């Protein structure tokens, strides 16, 4: 199961936090974004309690994280497409 975690950070900390998140084994993707949040990350776990533990114990305690909002993936509409770089 997967979830997207939207993260608001202290100003100027978004890139550093995204890098730290990418080092966590449960994090599949972490991107710096514009809008109401500064970083969006995709987290994977076997069950809801594992996701909760990952978010509570690994993501939220990172210095500079001010707020998180989590959206569980209910259904994947399509598989990932290759980058257009």
CB atoms inside a 10 Å sphere around CB 64: 17
Rg (CA), the chain: 13
- Where do the domains of the chain lie? 2-72
Top-tier CATH class for 2-72? alpha beta
- 3 beta partners: 43, 72
Q: Per-residue confidence at 42, pLDDT binned at 50, 70, 90? A: very high
pLDDT over 70 at 84, yes or no: no
The overall average pLDDT reported for the chain is: 92
pLDDT, tens digit (0-9, with 9 covering 90-100), for 19-40: 999 999 999 999 999 999 999 9
pTM: predicted TM-score of the whole model, two decimal places:
0.86
């Amino acid at each position: 199961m997967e979830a997207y975690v939207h993260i608001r950070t202290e100003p100027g900390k978004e890139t550093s936090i995204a890098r730290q998140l990418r080092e966590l084994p449960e994090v599949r993707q972490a991107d710096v974004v514009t809008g109401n949040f500064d970083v969006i990350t995709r987290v994977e776990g076997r069950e809801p309690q594992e996701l909760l533990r990952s978010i509570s114990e690994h993501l939220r305690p990172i210095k500079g994280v001010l707020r998180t909002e989590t959206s569980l993936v209910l259904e994947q509409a399509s598989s990932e497409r290759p980058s257009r770089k």
